[in-house]
Amino acid sequence: MPQEALNGLAPEIILRFNQVETIMPYCVFCHIRYEKGESGMSSITEIYGELVFNDRIMQERLPKVTYKQLAQTIKEGKTLDIEIANAVAHAMKEWAIEKGATHYTHWFQPLTGITSEKHDSFINPQDDGSTLLAFSGKELIQGEPDASSFPSGGLRATFEARGYTAWDPTSFAFIKDSVLCIPTAFISYGGEALDKKTPLLRSMAAINEQAKRVLKLFGKTPVQVSTTVGAEQEYFLIKEKDYADRLDLILTGRTLFGAAPCKGQELEEHYFGAIRPTVSRFMQELDRELWKLDIPAKTKHNEVAPSQHELAPVFLTTNAAIDSNLLTMEKMRLLASHHGLVCLLHEKPFEGINGSGKHNNWSISADGQNLLDPGKTPYDNLQFLVFLTAVIKAVDEYQGLLRMSVASAGNDHRLGANEAPPAIISIFLGDELAAVVEAIISSHAHTSAGDVFMNLGVEVLPTFPKDSTDRNRTSPFAFTGNKFEFRMAGSEVNLSDANMVLNTIIAKTLSDFADTIEGSKDFESASRDWLKKTLSDHQRIIFNGDNYSADWPIEAEKRGLLNLKSTPDALSQFITQESFELFDRFAVLSKSEVESRYEVKLEHYSKKVNIEGLVTARMAHARFIPAIIEYSTLVAEGIASKKDISDKLDTSAEEALLEKLTDGINAISAGAAVLEKAIEAAAATEDSLENAQAYQTKVIPAMETVRNAVDAVEILVGHDYWPVPSYNHILFYT
Ligand code: ADP
Ligand code: MG
């Protein structure tokens, strides 16, 4: 193999390439061939989207009429007819086979939030012993996986086990591991959504309809109003070897033990710091694989915590952005192994160290025009103010649902810790918009500042206009120039729920505006009245201060804002009468769909904590107690042998250590016994809410007691005797 063909690839991969005899570099794990180019790599423009059956390929490969009809389906949400589906399926199959695909799969997102796939080959054996490669329109648009093995939260008791997957033509098909993947929705025999995507698509339809009503009042009739999302993904990378030595990381994704490292993130040197070579090679490979899949990976950098990183793509229409994010997480996990690394996507892998979030940048646009763009004079931009106010009203009225949408066992550890907003929802608008809102409420005139230029004090540096707002990194819901950034979501979450909620609650407040204004004689003054009343009613949700400060929860309570600290508390917001009515009114979720999702989320929470509890107890017994016994026996033997030699040798320090170690063993053992009882008691509760509450109020504190006892001993035991890699070791590697 020519050496230059290997430039830029990780040494680990090169080794594997050399083991498999192939002329071109070839990754044996993900079956990717790196071809062409002087440096052995194809150019970005050549590879970009090469594994996606995207608009360009469709134009090239579909008959003109078919393409036009399909494009209409995609743009306007029209139903697809089977003739077109047949033609699309044929072209898709031919294209996929040329790209080396042998199978196809309906790729969907069951209520677990992760993606699922079952592979079917294209082969269709003939009587003469040969085979045709076939893929029909019916196979493209509909599949029938057995729904009984996926969580349904009780929907299965009422409805049949049958489930159907249905093609989502608004997300492009793509090839992954020689499989043609068709993004689909997953529904039950009775038409109930069994997945994350279906309600998301319904919510997009709801906001499309209501936003069009509003825009019509402004004399505009766009073809499509869609919401857009850019998901900034945070993650940790650690060494495979350290991961393999820790049962907690393997089974729960986070460390359940570990004394604080001697150095944390206090030197603030990791954020935007130079990226270490191993990580850089991982990022390069990741970027290329994502680009091939049409995923516009744009920004990458080191994050605040040691070994923490971030990837941000260019934003896309919401459902495509979420599909892309799920694929990104999958590729991160897979490709890390090529570099001897493991990617941790858990919200809080290390206690006392920043956790990982997934900032959900959200906006709404009409035929590509961003409706949250304030322009230079926001006070006079009535249409912008209506959309802005609709968001403010929605976030205030449905705080509980937004909090619910990102609730998970993992995220509970992150929210309210030092690196993330507390579990209180509030909105940051920035100085300029806050002044505009004040002016509207108090009926004062307001003049926008216009462009203010930065004075850098150095002539050679270019001058540029100052942003109208500074950033506020502590707000859970911040206006950032022309979009909102919902920062409460955790790194591992499927963003469908958060966006389903955002779209639906804003559809609701847009419809409130339209209901009030439609038919009014003086549109402008009626709109200004609505703005004034609505902003006055919901001003309490606006908070431009420091969300991390100790005063904020007190102030928030005075304002009557919710502070839902735990997942069981947050989930209760999903099953209120208000929530049922909201989702039903906009045909996003029926009451039984809401109830089933609530059940699944509660169960998932309990199962996660149960596993963590079991792992905590197991590691205490199987790892830590034996190791501490071994070390303390060594200390005891040392003391005894010194005493044998002479009574005069002072062994007081060793004896004090021995006492602490012995106390430690007892504390861990007693803690583990309490924990085991708590798990048993929690598991015995029948009701799913009581079950989750038992895990939250009894099991989690019992786990913490065991952890604290273990961590207190970790710093006393000789390095070579501690049975798992420490935080110092895991977080700081070269
Ligand atoms: P940061 O939060 O670090 O300031 P950026 O300003 O670079 O990040 O942008 C963050 C994300 O916001 C990117 O993924 C970007 O594509 C996305 N974004 C920008 N405009 C929009 C929009 N109109 N709708 C949704 N997301 C957007
Ligand atoms: Mg951000």
Task: Write the pLDDT tens digit of every residue in 363-384.
Answer: 999 999 999 999 988 888 999 9
Strands (E), 411-463: 427-428
* HEC per residue, 158-180: HCCCEEEEEECCCCCEEEECCEE
Q: Which two tokens stand for residue 23?
A: 């002329």
Which of 226, 316, 361, 480 is the best mutation target for the ligand 1 pocket, counting ligand atoms within 8 Å of the beta carbon and taking the most?
361
Among candidate residues 678, 681, 692, 706, the one with its CA nearest the CA of residue 566: 692
> According to CATH, what is the number of the domain 52-195?
3.10.20.70
Q: Does domain 204-589 have CATH number 3.30.590.10?
A: yes
Q: Mean pLDDT throughout 627-635?
A: 98
> Which is more confident, 275 or 341?
341
pLDDT at 25: 38
Tens digits of per-residue pLDDT, 563-573? 999 999 999 99
Q: Which two tokens stand for residue 409?
A: 């066992």
Tens digits of per-residue pLDDT, 473-530? 789 999 999 999 999 999 999 999 999 999 999 999 999 999 999 999 999 999 999 9
Among candidate residues 713, 731, 734, 690, the one with its CA nearest the CA of residue 267: 731
**CA of 315, nearest ligand number:** 1
Q: Mean pLDDT throughout 7-36?
A: 35
Kindly give the distance from the C-alpha atom of residue 467 to the centroid of ligand 2, in angstroms, as a whole number. Answer: 16
Q: Are 348 and 270 spatial neighbours (Cβ–Cβ below 8 Å)?
A: no
**Minimal-distance CA residue to ligand 1 atom 17:** 230
Among candidate residues 149, 183, 211, 157, the one with its CA nearest the CA of residue 52: 183
Average pLDDT, the chain: 88
- The domain limits of the chain are 3-47, 52-195, 204-589, 604-730
CA distance 570 to 19: 52
> Within 10 Å of residue 430's Cβ, how many Cβ atoms?
20
Q: Three-state DSSP class for 41?
A: coil
Please name the helix (run of DSSP H) or strand (run of DSSP E) that holds residue 70, with its range, or none. helix 64-76
CA distance 193 to 207: 19
pLDDT at 116: 87
Kindly give the distance from the C-alpha atom of residue 283 to the centroid of ligand 1, in angstroms, as a whole number. Answer: 20
Residue-wise DSSP of 6-31: GTTS-HHHHHHHHHS--SS-EETTTT
Q: Give the torsion through C-alpha atoms of 547, 552, 558, 562, to 10 deg.
A: 50
Q: Give the helix ranges, DSSP H, for 620-719.
A: 625-645, 652-684, 688-694, 700-714
Among candidate residues 184, 28, 176, 26, the one with its CA nearest the CA of residue 101: 176
Q: Three-state DSSP class for 342?
A: strand
Q: Which two tokens stand for residue 545?
A: 């201060």
pLDDT at 150: 76
pLDDT band at 3 (very low <50, low <70, confident <90, very high): very low
Kindly give the distance from the C-alpha atom of residue 370 to the centroid of ligand 1, in angstroms, as a whole number. Answer: 13
Tens digits of per-residue pLDDT, 295-345? 999 998 888 788 999 999 999 999 999 999 999 999 999 999 999 999 999
* HEC per residue, 665-676: HHHHHHHHHHHH
Atom of ligand 1 minimally distant from the CA of 314: 16
- The one-letter code for the residue type at 661 is L
**Minimal-distance CA residue to ligand 1 atom 19:** 315
Q: Measured at the alpha carbon of residue 152, what is the angle toward residues 603 and 493, in degrees to the nearest 5?
A: 60
Q: Three-state DSSP class for 287?
A: helix
CA distance 432 to 470: 10
CA distance 75 to 86: 20
pLDDT band at 161 (very low <50, low <70, confident <90, very high): low
pLDDT at 733: 80
Q: Which two tokens stand for residue 566?
A: 């735990």
Does the Cβ of 475 fall within 6 Å of ligand 1? no
pLDDT band at 6 (very low <50, low <70, confident <90, very high): very low
Kindly give the distance from the C-alpha atom of residue 539 to the centroid of ligand 1, in angstroms, as a whole number. Answer: 25
> Within 10 Å of residue 209's Cβ, how many Cβ atoms?
16
Q: Mean pLDDT throughout 164-174?
A: 89
Q: How far is CA 490 from CA 55, 290, 345, 414, in A?
A: 32, 21, 9, 8
Kindly give the distance from the C-alpha atom of residue 359 to the centroid of ligand 2, in angstroms, as a whole number. Answer: 5
Which of 225, 234, 315 is the best mutation target for the ligand 1 pocket, counting ligand atoms within 8 Å of the beta carbon and taking the most?
315
Chain centroid offset of residue 262 CA: 30
Tens digits of per-residue pLDDT, 529-560? 999 999 999 999 999 988 888 899 999 999 99
- Please classify residue 64 by burial: count the beta carbons closer than 10 Å to its beta carbon, then call 0-12 exposed, 13-18 middle and 19+ buried: exposed
Residue-wise DSSP of 514-539: HHHHTT-S-HHHHHHHHHHHHHHHHG
Among candidate residues 634, 616, 637, the one with its CA nearest the CA of residue 708: 616
Please name the helix (run of DSSP H) or strand (run of DSSP E) that holds residue 234, with its range, or none. strand 225-239
Strands 297-302 and 308-313, by their bridges, are: antiparallel
Atom of ligand 1 minimally distant from the CA of 372: 23
pLDDT band at 269 (very low <50, low <70, confident <90, very high): low
Q: Mean pLDDT throughout 137-165?
A: 75
Kindly give the distance from the C-alpha atom of residue 310 to the centroid of ligand 1, in angstroms, as a whole number. Answer: 13
Kindly give the distance from the C-alpha atom of residue 453 to the centroid of ligand 1, in angstroms, as a whole number. Answer: 23
pLDDT at 725: 97
Q: Give the torsion through C-alpha atoms of 243, 248, 254, 255, to 10 deg.
A: -90
pLDDT band at 470 (very low <50, low <70, confident <90, very high): low
For the chain, helix (H) and strand (E) counts, in that order, are 27, 21
CA distance 391 to 473: 19
Architecture of domain 604-730: Up-down Bundle (1.20)
**CA of 311, nearest ligand number:** 1
Residue-wise DSSP of 552-600: HHHHHHHHT-----SHHHHHGGGGSHHHHHHHHHTTS--HHHHHHHHHH
- Please classify residue 696 by burial: count the beta carbons closer than 10 Å to its beta carbon, then call 0-12 exposed, 13-18 middle and 19+ buried: buried
Q: How far is CA 530 from CA 154, 323, 441, 524, in A?
A: 42, 37, 10, 10
Atom of ligand 1 minimally distant from the CA of 482: 23
Q: Which two tokens stand for residue 246?
A: 């820790």
Kindly give the distance from the C-alpha atom of residue 395 to the centroid of ligand 2, in angstroms, as a whole number. Answer: 19
pLDDT at 22: 30
- Please classify residue 638 by burial: count the beta carbons closer than 10 Å to its beta carbon, then call 0-12 exposed, 13-18 middle and 19+ buried: middle
Does the Cβ of 472 fall within 6 Å of ligand 1? no
Residue-wise DSSP of 321-376: HHHHHHHHHHHHHHHHGGGTEEEE--S-SSTTS---BEEEEEEEEETTEETT---S
Q: Which residue(s) pair with 490 in the sheet?
A: 357
**CA of 358, nearest ligand number:** 2
Q: Mean pLDDT throughout 589-603?
A: 95
Place of tokens 């993650």: 235
Strands (E), 367-498: 369-370, 427-428, 477-479, 484-486
**CA of 301, nearest ligand number:** 1
Does the Cβ of 226 fall within 6 Å of ligand 1? no
Q: How far is CA 600 from CA 112, 612, 688, 692, in A?
A: 8, 18, 9, 11
Q: Which two tokens stand for residue 238?
A: 């650690």
pLDDT at 390: 98
Which of 209-223, 413-427, 655-669 is the least confident region?
Answer: 413-427
According to DSSP, residue 305 is labeled S
Atom of ligand 1 minimally distant from the CA of 361: 26
Kindly give the distance from the C-alpha atom of residue 490 to the centroid of ligand 2, in angstroms, as a whole number. Answer: 13
> Residues near 13 by Cβ (< 8 Å), separated by ≥ 6?
25, 27, 285, 338
> Within 10 Å of residue 262's Cβ, how many Cβ atoms?
10
Atom of ligand 1 minimally distant from the CA of 363: 24
Does the Cβ of 232 fall within 6 Å of ligand 1? yes
Nearest 5°: phi and psi at 316?
Answer: -135, 175
Place of tokens 């990458």: 300
Does the Cβ of 66 fall within 6 Å of ligand 1? no
Atom of ligand 1 minimally distant from the CA of 227: 24
> Against a cut of 0.85, is the pTM above it?
yes
CA distance 376 to 389: 18
Kindly give the distance from the C-alpha atom of residue 480 to the centroid of ligand 2, in angstroms, as a whole number. Answer: 9
Does the Cβ of 361 fall within 6 Å of ligand 1? yes
**Minimal-distance CA residue to ligand 1 atom 4:** 480
Q: Are 248 and 619 spatial neighbours (Cβ–Cβ below 8 Å)?
A: yes
pLDDT above 80: residue 359: yes
Tens digits of per-residue pLDDT, 194-207? 999 999 999 999 99
Kindly give the distance from the C-alpha atom of residue 478 to the centroid of ligand 2, in angstroms, as a whole number. Answer: 9
Within the chain, what is the greatest distance between any pair of CA atoms?
104
pLDDT above 90: residue 233: yes
Among candidate residues 146, 55, 54, the one with its CA nearest the CA of residue 106: 146
Does the Cβ of 314 fall within 6 Å of ligand 1? yes
Place of tokens 């090839």: 175
Q: Mean pLDDT throughout 73-80?
A: 74
pLDDT at 23: 30
Kindly give the distance from the C-alpha atom of residue 232 to the centroid of ligand 2, in angstroms, as a whole number. Answer: 6
Which of 204, 227, 232, 371 is the best mutation target for the ligand 1 pocket, counting ligand atoms within 8 Å of the beta carbon and taking the most?
232
Does the Cβ of 228 fall within 6 Å of ligand 1? yes
